[in-house]
Structures are given as structure tokens and as C-alpha cells.
Amino acid sequence: MWKKLVVMLTFFFGTFLLKAQETLPQFSAMDKGSGRIIISWSNPYRDTIRQLSIQRSFDSLRSFKSILTLPDPTVPQNGYVDGQAPSARMYYRLYILLDNGRFLFSKSKRATLDTAGNAAGISRSISSAPSNEVVKVDRVTETARDQIKLPEKVIPRVLYIKVKETFFAQIPESYLKRFRDSINLRTKDTLTLIPPDTILIQPYVPVEVFRASKYVYTEKDGNINIRLPDASATKYQVKFFEEDGTFLFEIKQVKEPLLIVDKSNFRHAGWFRFELLSNNEQKEKSKFFVPKDF
């Protein structure tokens, strides 16, 4: 279960909202004002990325905490709107886990203020000065005047974007064609047009189905058993993570068929994740629960 409700928006808008997406492991952080920080990126890893978490901190080097782990990290272009940041001066970074077991952190950065959006539309075209040319105008009768119709002024229609029940942005109707169906981006988000002028996006939140591992599991005493019958003939490596993907520690080689990891190695009760590698290739990725002592 998610500990808190998060709003994750796959960016269908192309260059309208994200003018300069960085390529992972780099990312863009834009302060849109009104307490909204947009974190966005392009994903060159595609299907080889296993996990991506967004982290933030008051410090540029330490005390980072994950605020979101994406349900589908393989989307080619993605982003997140942080509307709960304590300050616009927060630092952000990304935690990236690849399917070969390699993981990395991006460089931390603060959001930059989006000044381009405020400047758009300010410039106006100025007509050239009138010449001294004399224009001959024929007299128009009242009947003819009544038959003359000026062209009607066309007012562009504006659409409003809502994520769940929260207003996100507004766009001209002409930008609607830039929306691409979620299927093209391999997501299961629901995109609905609500007449007359609202687009509702319901982000898909998959239900995680837990299956206990037969290799790494919790015993009745609360300790973690690592059972690998062929450990003497195969190089096994186990990495442990917090539930949000934050790295804890690793056992670089398991040499015994049964290895017991004391629960005191884990700082608190709750769910933890692990990754089991066999000869440097991923064998299993799952999680286990450490019970609370009474």
C-alpha cells in the first residue's frame, strides 16, 4: 500500500509544458510558482530500468528522502508535480536501478524559476506608420452599409487540465492534438474529456501482489534466512533496500547454503526489498517483512 496519495502525470504535452527535458541520469527541475515544482526527464534506458525514485532534501548532499517511486519507470518521457514541497529551495535527485543490478544517483539540484512562461505572449506586433497616400472612398448608401458584415472575432477555446480532482494547467484547444493516448507510452492512465472544457487524467496505480521468496525470507524469530543449496558452486550476491528503494547494505558473496541475517541489521520493523544476483545476473527481486519486537 502506498503510504500517501501521490499525483503522477505522464507528460503528454510535449514541448508545451516541458521545454528542455534532460536525459537520465540528468533531470529537469522547474519552479512553476504557486508551490508547484515539476521534475521531468527523458529515459534512454527504456525497458532496462527497474526502479526510479524521486528524492528531496534541504541539503544538497545528505538526508534525502524518497517522495515517489514510479509504478512504471520505463516510460520514454515522464515527470512528476511536487505540490507538497516545504520550500522552493529544496534539493532534488533521482535514484535509478537497472535490471543488471547496477544503481546510481543523479546529481542533486534545486528547481529553477520558470521565467519563460511569464514572458510568453508579451510581445505584440506593431503596424507600420500610415503613409501620406490619399485613398478615394465612394459614398455608401444605408442599404449597402447594412449588408456589409465585419468578420466575426474568433476567441480561442481554452481547455483545463485536472489530475484527479486537482487543477494542473490550462492549454489552448489547438494543443489537444498533441495529446497521445496512454497506450502509446505503455501506461494504463485514463484520459477523459469532460464537456465542455475539462480533461481529466486518472493515473494508474497498480496493485502489488506479494509472493514470498523461497531463497530470502523471514523466519518465526524475525531473522532473515538466505537459503541457497548450491552456494558453494555459484557466486551469489544479495542487496538490501528500504521499501522506497533506498540502498541499505549488501552481502557480496554468500558462501554457505544457509545464512541467517540478524534482524538488528535492519533499523526498523516493516517491509524491505532485496535483489538476489547469481553470477552477476539477477535471479530474483522481491521483498520481506521484519516484525516488530514486543
Counted residue by residue, the chain has a size of 294
> How many whole angstroms separate alpha carbon 66 and alpha carbon 243?
10
DSSP for 147-211, please give it: H--PPPPPPPPEEEEEETTEEEEEEEGGGGGG---GGGGT---EEEEETTTEEEEE---PPPPP-
Q: Where in the chain is the domain with CATH 2.60.40.10?
A: 1-114+156-206
Residue range 1-114+156-206 in CATH 3.40.50.2020 = no
Count helices and strands (H / E) in the chain.
2, 20
**80's grid cell:** 512528476
- CATH class of segment(s) 216-290: mainly beta
List the pLDDT tens digit at each of the 294 positions of the chain: 434 333 344 444 444 444 457 889 999 999 988 888 999 999 998 889 999 999 999 999 999 999 999 888 888 888 888 988 898 899 999 999 988 888 889 999 999 987 765 444 434 333 444 545 555 555 555 555 556 566 666 666 666 666 656 655 666 655 555 554 444 455 566 666 666 656 666 666 666 667 889 999 999 888 999 999 999 899 999 999 999 999 999 999 999 999 999 998 898 999 999 999 999 999 999 999 999 875
Q: How many CA atoms lie within 13 A of 89 on its CB side?
A: 2
